[in-house]
Amino acid sequence: MRSIKCAILFSGNGSNMQNLIESLHNKIFYDNANNPVRLETTLTLCNNPSAYGITRTHHLAIPCKIINHKDFSSRSDFDNAMIEMLRAHSIDIVLLAGFMRILTSCFTQAYQTINIHPSFLPEHKGANAIKESFNSTQSYGGVSVHWVNEELDSGEIIAQEKLHKIPNESLEDFTSRIHALEYSLYPRAILLALGLKDSVKSVEELQ
């Protein structure tokens, strides 16, 4: 059976990372020819040694490597260190889940990389997307999943959904609904990007 080895990069809480692992790891999907394909989260990478997501990886029994970007003199040196680690684990595709670094061209040319962003792109790029979206005059926010290039939040869209605002809703409640949409959309968008159909059985069920 063919396997696709995934790496997840994160910088903080790691809730999207955990959702991807629980939704996709060691599950069997089917390609367009109905051949079974296993998705395997082979590795997680974190650039922040104090990130809570590291604790999540331990609970999930998924290997986590820490490469602190502050240990490198340039963005490209940091990216090359990550590339070396990914190649050592024979990674096929990279998934970003709250990874707070802009990747250089050396990385994006080495690996196909997917990111999730909490706005309806191209609106509200950058780190404060949820708050900016909430405070905007638009009647909606949203979530977008896209291929990564060297320009911030600007790669080709894979999937996106709008989230309509509720009158008098708090920023906290709006944020919670955005996160819930992220957890729903991201796994589905990854399968779409990889040309795979929904899971039927887990690896354990097939044994």
Please identify every residue annotated as catalytic.
117
CB 186 within 8 A of CB 194: no
3 state DSSP class of 149 = coil
> Which 8-state DSSP code applies to residue 48?
-
DSSP string, 56-122: HHHHHT--EEE--GGGSSSHHHHHHHHHHHHHHTT--EEEESS--SPPPHHHHHHS-EEEEESSSTT
- In contact, 142 and 161? CB cutoff 8 Å: yes
